[in-house]
Homo-oligomer: A and B are copies of this chain.
């Protein structure tokens, strides 16, 4: 079992390896912008979703062992298709990561202008660049698709602000608010 954030390339590669029957892909939805043993945390996986992706070759025994290992960590195993996982994670994790990096880099010297909102929105930018380079490359297709769609939404909203199109501006913010309320209600 691996624990990377992009699953399709890994599961595809596993399928072609000798011993594929004993392998499954894994991805815990846990962690922070920190990495390395100094940030070890024994409760890291407690109550977290841990995605598991079987290969076409994985035996029932391999799946059960992975399931048991994940439960043993205190996490919640969730079996999904690698393609679904990668499409969703592009939007909920990989794109937000890019956004945080670009926002952080967009202001040369924020100084006293960096309030709590800017700090929250750039926290992820502290993550390890080599890890994220690899994730973005491994899930390039889905990340680019999610990013282009988000870029178009941004461009439309900026057009609306430039045109003082009050209804469109308010509509965009309301859509975000409704989505955020659904997210909080689901917690």
Q: How would residues 160 to 182 of chain A score, 1 for a CB under 8 Å from any chain B CB and 0 otherwise?
A: 01101010011011111111111
- Could you tell me the distance between the alpha carbons of A88 and B78 in the complex, rounded to whole angstroms? 43
Is A146 interfacial (CB-CB < 8 Å)? yes
Interface size class of A (residues with CB under 8 A): 35 or more
Q: Are A161 and B179 in touch, CB under 8 angstroms?
A: no
Is A3 interfacial (CB-CB < 8 Å)? no
By secondary structure, the A interface counts as: helix
The one of B49, B122, B144 that contacts A179, using a Cβ cutoff of 8 Å: B122
A140/B164 contact (C-beta < 8 A), A106-B149, A177-B101, A179-B105 known: yes
Q: So how many copies of this chain end up in the complex?
A: 2
A88: chain B residues at CB < 8 Å are: 107, 110, 113
Is A83 interfacial (CB-CB < 8 Å)? no
The one of B91, B118, B132, B172 that contacts A173, using a Cβ cutoff of 8 Å: B132
A117: chain B residues at CB < 8 Å are: 92-93, 96-97, 124
- Could you tell me the distance between the alpha carbons of A99 and B105 in the complex, rounded to whole angstroms? 15
Closest to A78 in B: B112
Closest to A109 in B: B182
